Amino acid sequence: MKRTLVMSDIHGELEMFERLLSDLNYDPNQDELILLGDYVDRGPKSKNVLDKVIELQAQGALVLKGNHEDMMVKALTTDDERGWKNWINRNGGTATLKSYGFTESEFTVLEEEEFIKPVLNSEALDQHIKFIKSLDHIIEKDNYIFVHAGVHPTIPIAETDPYILMWIREEFHTGYTGDKTVIFGHTPTKIFHGDLDNHTVYFGDNRIIGIDGGAVYGGQLNCLELPKQTTHYVK
């Protein structure tokens, strides 16, 4: 039976990502791979992870956009001061830019200075921004919905702002009552388990399955295998 392998929230952890694919003996000709977003930020090799994701998509993987990709694109393609500083100072954009070979002196904006967004020239970065812009936010199948953060409990998917699909948390976690099982990342599973050391896949009673194992925070990178709903991971 064909396997569907679902992963999320890699956050620049290239070695963990490649090790998990290897452990699974992933074969693009035999398996379906679905990636739920957050390939960049905080971890050391965001550029390399995006290179890998692009390679996998070319082989047939289904690739969604996460909120960190969304922040990255907005920071790099607009002149919004708040968006830039939010990405750089709070959400791991510094590590991402370093992975493209930039130094902090090239992208740091001092607080006391008037905001002028740094000019960052990188062909690889330009290509990756174009790739990210092309990504979908959700995949819906007969029995499952795949999304980065979740779905709104009362708004039809077709009418839902993509921002919600990449950012929603509690309202979805506690309020979802749909018939299809939703598989998502975004929120580390240790929060659902109420245990800072438990990074395993979370199976909610209301047909939600959280797979973000907090890899970049010292947790683990999870994979959910369908249709068996078995789990795999690397620490």
Question: 141 and 93 in one domain?
Answer: no
Question: 208 and 157 in one domain?
Answer: yes
Question: 74 and 56 in one domain?
Answer: no
Question: 108 and 29 in one domain?
Answer: no
Question: 123 and 79 in one domain?
Answer: yes
Distance CA(141)–CA(139), nearest Å, equals 7
Among 132, 151, 173, identify where a domain stops.
132
Domains in the chain, number: 2
**Section 164-175 average pLDDT:** 98
**Cα end-to-end distance, the chain, whole Å:** 27
Question: 108 and 125 in one domain?
Answer: yes
Q: Residue 111's pLDDT is what?
A: 75
CATH of the domain at 38: 3.60.21.10
Question: 46 and 14 in one domain?
Answer: yes
Distance CA(62)–CA(4), nearest Å, equals 10
Averaged pLDDT score across all residues of the chain: 96
In SS3 terms, 75-115 reads as HHHCCCHHHHHHHHHHCCHHHHHHHCCCCHHHHCCCCCCCC
Question: 227 and 211 in one domain?
Answer: yes
Question: 189 and 153 in one domain?
Answer: yes
User: Which tens digit of pLDDT belongs to each residue from 76-102?
Assistant: 999 999 999 999 999 999 999 999 999
Question: 123 and 169 in one domain?
Answer: no
**Section 105-122 average pLDDT:** 86
pLDDT surpassing 90 at residue 25: yes
- Residue span of the structural domain in which 62 resides: 4-68+137-234
**DSSP class per residue in 138-181:** EEE-SSEEEESS---SSS-GGGS-HHHHHH--HHHHHH---SSE
Among 104, 132, 160, identify where a domain stops.
132
Contacts of 213 (CB under 8 A, 6+ apart): 9, 188, 189, 199, 200, 201, 219, 220, 221, 222, 233
* Closest-CA residue to 5 (of 69, 80, 56, 65): 56
Q: Residue 1's pLDDT is what?
A: 72
Q: Residue 86's pLDDT is what?
A: 95
With cut-offs at 50, 70 and 90, classify the pLDDT of residue 40: very high
Q: Which two tokens stand for residue 69?
A: 């990709």
Predicted TM-score (pTM) of this structure: 0.97
pLDDT surpassing 90 at residue 210: yes
Distance CA(144)–CA(151), nearest Å, equals 12
Among 111, 132, 153, identify where a domain stops.
132
Q: Residue 4's pLDDT is what?
A: 98
Question: 103 and 54 in one domain?
Answer: no
Question: 28 and 121 in one domain?
Answer: no
